[in-house]
Amino acid sequence: SQKIEQNSEALNIQEGKTATLTCNYTNYSPAYLQWYRQDPGRGPVFLLLIRENEKEKRKERLKVTFDTTLKQSLFHITASQPADSATYLCAPYSGGGADGLTFGKGTHLIIQP
């Protein structure tokens, strides 16, 4: 069956450092992969989408990589700030229709001042 794995333990990073979150998937051949941010009590917010033929994508302090051989995506936040503290969800998508995304359980990121 399809499986998405994200670090289940909270990730503590010191302010100013780069935070790196991992998303591994099995039994998927995603056409693209999305990353979302979720704050407590709120709905997820879309951050970035990367296609299978893109190795890397950037948006301001965010960078996403996508390795279809390793079946892995890495999500980086550079110059991290306490305001970046949240849960980050990945969602690989095989495409082909309007059926909904399946999300990983997310990694809780804590940026320590």
Partner 1 sequence: SQTIHQWPATLVQPVGSPLSLECTVEGTSNPNLYWYRQAAGRGLQLLFYSVGIGQISSEVPQNLSASRPQDRQFILSSKKLLLSDSGFYLCAWRGWGYDYGYTFGSGTRLTVV
Residue numbers at the binding site for partner 1 (CB under 8 A): 31-32, 34, 36, 41-47, 49, 89, 93, 95, 98-106
| Local structure of 84: helix, strand or coil | helix
Measure the CA–CA gap between 11 and 17, rounded to whole angstroms: 12
Would you say 46 or 55 has its CB closer to partner 1?
Answer: 46
What is the CB neighbour count within 10 angstroms for residue 46? 10
CB of 89 to partner 1, least distance (A): 7
Would you say 28 or 93 has its CB closer to partner 1?
Answer: 93
List C-alpha distances in Å: 108 to 28, 36, 54, 57.
24, 12, 26, 22
CB of 17 to partner 1, least distance (A): 27
CB of 59 to partner 1, least distance (A): 12
CB of 97 to partner 1, least distance (A): 8
* CA nearest to 21, candidates 61, 85, 77: 77
Would you say 82 or 95 has its CB closer to partner 1?
Answer: 95
Would you say 25 or 44 has its CB closer to partner 1?
Answer: 44
